[in-house]
Structure 1
Amino acid sequence: MTITYSCVAHGRAVLAELALTGGSYQEAAAKVLRQVLLKAEPETIIQIGSYVYHTLFIDGITYLCATDNGLDTMAPSAFLKKVEYNKNPRDNNTVSAVKSQVTDVKNIMLRNIDTVLERETETVSILTEGAEDPQATAEEFEKTRKIPKRIWWKCFKIVITTLTILLSIIIILLRTHIIPT
């Protein structure tokens, strides 16, 4: 489960947003914000397309995040609560509180982006390790393919040599009349 999009909104106005992947989150977020304002419930989970939108609605501010998997509801809920609780309760200035929350959301999303990029870098390096020198890989395959042929020829030569020696000994023994005919 990955949080792919998050935003903070006041009413229907999105104050700050961050998307990890390309996509049209804005249209879906607008639909979710309308439903959240109509329901006025503190927490809402709405599925639109292949994404699940989780919201936390407190004091007219909506904290929203989208995930790519609807099985886990604990992580998005904890994420939204952490973003909401990061505001300074002593600060009565709503704009300052929202700015602080936006900064917190931005920092969290940037950390998520860094994590995703690290995973992608690891995956790419694993994939490119085998493809760096295809000529060397092909030559190594050819060598390993030729090994059974070499072993077969070696065994064949040993058998032929042994048969030749035995046949020679038998002929010599027959000629010297050691073996009666």
Structure 2
Amino acid sequence: MTITYSCVAHGRAVLAELALTGGSYQEAAAKVLRQVLLKAEPATIIHIGSYVYHTLFIDGITYLCATDNGLDSMAPSAFLKKMEYNKNQRDNNTVSAVKSQVTDVKNIMLRNIDTVLEREIETVSIITEGAEDPQATAEEFEKTRKIPKRIWWKCFKIVITTLTILLSIIIILLRTHIIPT
């Protein structure tokens, strides 16, 4: 008994597939997916042609594999359960990774804000120290005023870019159902 084809589908949309031998499995897999959705049973075995299609249907996701022998159902069953287990493990890892990235970005933002505040305090102290000579104070203020603004804008752009990237990643993960809704 050999598993010759496997796929993971959401509804009738195949998300990932692998064929180990030549042949057109897509048409037969589409028929099997249609029948699985109609029956909505957790496990199904369907004979089409010379292949036996084994399915595992959990939470709208169908795990399917095709074998060339209908006598052994233990190996395909174990294979499908392993596929489902790996998906759950990956989902948990993905959520943890996103949480970790959000925490990292938050820490970076806090450090950037602290840096900007420290520079603003330095600017204020320079202004108050040079208040005795108005002309020198004006020139010094003009020089130091431009630096924090540029730094602030750079930090602001970095924060906005980072938040945009994280939001995009979260939207993509939600749309592909990697993060369950």
TM-score of the superposed pair, with normalisation by structure 2:
0.50
Higher helix share: 2
Say whether the 8 Å CA contact 1:87–1:101 is kept in structure 2.
Answer: no
Provide closer, same or farther for how the CA distance between residues 166 and 134 of structure 1 changes in structure 2, counting only shifts above 3 A. Answer: same
The Cα offsets for residues 106-156 of structure 1, whole Å up to 9 and x where unpaired, read as 999999999999999999999999999999999999999999999999999
| Identical-pair percentage | 96
Q: In terms of mean alpha carbon deviation, does 18-27 or 163-172 score higher?
A: 163-172
Are 1:41 and 1:57, in contact at CA under 8 Å, matched by a contact in 2?
A: yes
Q: 1:52 to 1:127 in 2, by over 3 A?
A: farther
2:53–2:64 contact (8 Å) kept in structure 1: yes
* Superposed displacement of residue 24, structure 1: 1.1
What SS does the aligned partner of 1:41 have? coil
The alpha-carbon deviation at position 86 of structure 1 amounts to 1.2
* Structure 1 runs, 4 residues or longer, greater than 3 Å off: 88-181
- Please tell me whether the aligned partners of residues 6 and 64 of structure 1 are also in contact (alpha carbons under 8 angstroms): yes
Root-mean-square deviation (CA, aligned residues, Å) is 33.6
- The structural deviation recorded for 1:62 is 0.2
Question: Any conservation in 2 of the 1:52–1:68 contact (CA below 8 Å)?
Answer: yes
Q: For the Cα contact (< 8 Å) 2:123–2:144, is it kept in 1?
A: no
Alignment partner of 1:157 is 2:161: no
| Preserved CA contact (<8 Å) 2:53 2:66 | yes
**Contact in 2 for aligned 1:83/1:101 (Cα 8 Å):** no
Answer with 86-95 or 149-158: which moved more: 149-158
- Structure 1 residues 94 and 177, CA, compared in 2 at 3 Å: closer, same or farther? closer
**Structure ID, larger Rg:** 1
Give the TM-score, by structure 1 length. Answer: 0.50
Which shifted more, 62-71 or 111-120? Answer: 111-120
SS of the aligned residue for 2:126 comes to: helix
> What secondary structure sits across from 1:91 in the alignment?
helix
Return the offset for 1:91.
3.8
Q: Deviations over 1:57-115 (max 9, x none)?
A: 00000000000000000000000001101123594799999999999999999999999
Counterparts of 1:174 and 1:59 in 2: how far apart (Å)? 15
More displaced stretch, 150-159 vs 99-108 = 150-159
CA distance in 1 between counterparts of 2:96 and 2:174 reads 114
The aligned residue for residue 84 of structure 2 is 84
Indicate conservation of the 8 Å contact 1:64/1:80, yes or no.
yes
Task: Return 5+ residue gaps in structure 1 as ranges.
Answer: none
Shift of the 113–81 alpha-carbon distance from structure 1 to 2, 3 Å rule, reads farther
Deviates more, 1:101-110 or 1:160-169: 160-169
